[in-house]
Amino acid sequence: MIEETVLQYELSDAEVSRIREEAARLAASLPDPADPARYVDNRFADAGLPPCLKDFLERFRRTESAAGLLIHGFPVDDSAVGPTPGHWDQPTDPAATLEQELFLAMCATALGDPFTWSTLQLGRMIQNILPIRGDEERQSGHGSATLLEFHTEDGFHPGRCDYLLLFGIRNHDRVPTILASVRDVKLSREDLALLMRPLFHILPDDEHIRQLQLRHPDHPALARMEQMLHSPDAVPVLFGDPDRPYLRIDLPFMRCVSDEPAAERAVYTLMAELERVQHTVVVEQGSLLIVDNYLAVHGRKPYPVRYDGSDRWLKRMIVSRDLRKAAPVSRMTRGRVLF
């Protein structure tokens, strides 16, 4: 099988019309696709997606022939969506981006089970990725002045997503997302063997802990995250078939279990390889990037911000192929919120 890193799909005018009709139907009864309770009975089932797009998503999910895909051409009215918020919790008009969020939700349900974390953005199913004043240097989607290093989304958690979805509400500056596939790297047998051993700790990133500390310090999820921070399990970086491995990595939040210099060198060799084979992807206004979180790492290059309402603004969702895999270490509410 010939593998590509990022597949491309251009929506036709007829497909856009069909999706918008389905979004209008859904909006009449499901006015808030960011509410996790709306996903309990799969009300966002992908029946309204055009057949060719459904087939494209299903092939991506089933064949693992690419690390990511880009869907282009869903309309976004720049004035209608309003200015980029200054913070993820800043109130906005829900109707302004409703059509785009419904399209995002339909694509997410075509791939599996959307879910969210109680530790992030108050457990909203659809979250805002945008620059926040004061967070410029942070290793998070709200930073801007520093490189967001290659990482697996929520790589510390065994229940992490299979797919990460990012939809472009605004990106006039063409801020680049970077993407690399583990299937493109070249490693020695020695490094491969080390990386497939449970020699590493991956700790929760700052956002999972900081947001609850600031807003809900008594939330039971905070205690769980702090346990993962202070008593993490040892895990491999690569796993599965050695000839076609999956990966989990987040270097700024990693450490070796023991003083084994060869293991640390192997991680840096892998990171250098991922950087060598990286691709630049611009999530433009009206485009949807879907990342296979088991095959790919992603990051973001630094970019200038203005905080004037015109900065980059993405909508984010995460999807699992099997939510039960998180059961041993997480609790899940009826609305698919893990904590």
Q: In the chain, where are the structural domains located?
A: 4-183+280-338
d(CA 234, CA 200): 5
pTM, 2 dp: 0.96
The pLDDT of residue 323 is 84
DSSP 291-321: EETTTEEEEE-------SS-S-EEEEEEEES
The pLDDT of residue 332 is 62
**Who's near 177: CB < 8 A, 6+ residues apart?**
166, 280, 281, 282, 283, 289, 298, 299, 300
DSSP 147-170: -EEEE-TTTT-TT--SEEEEEEEE
d(CA 129, CA 140): 9
DSSP 87-112: STTS---GGGGHHHHHHHHHHHHHHS
The pLDDT of residue 221 is 87
The pLDDT of residue 334 is 59
The pLDDT of residue 3 is 56
Cβ atoms within 10 A of the Cβ of 58, count? Answer: 13
CB 86 within 8 A of CB 312: no
15-38 pLDDT per residue, tens: 999 999 999 999 988 778 999 988
Buried b (16+ CB within 10 A) or exposed e, 216-227: eeebebbebbee
d(CA 224, CA 244): 32
Q: Is 38 helix (H, G, I), strand (E, B) or coil?
A: helix
Which CA distances in Å does 28 have to 22, 97, 300? 10, 15, 36
Cβ atoms within 10 A of the Cβ of 56, count? Answer: 18
CB 9 within 8 A of CB 71: yes
Strands 113-117 and 337-338: parallel
d(CA 138, CA 116): 21
84-121 pLDDT per residue, tens: 999 999 999 999 999 999 999 999 999 999 999 999 99
> Per CATH, the architecture of 4-183+280-338 is what?
4-Layer Sandwich (3.60)
Nearest by Cα to 316 from 130, 167, 107 = 167
d(CA 246, CA 241): 8
Q: Is 209 helix (H, G, I), strand (E, B) or coil?
A: helix
Q: Which residues of the chain carry a pLDDT beneath 50?
A: 1-2
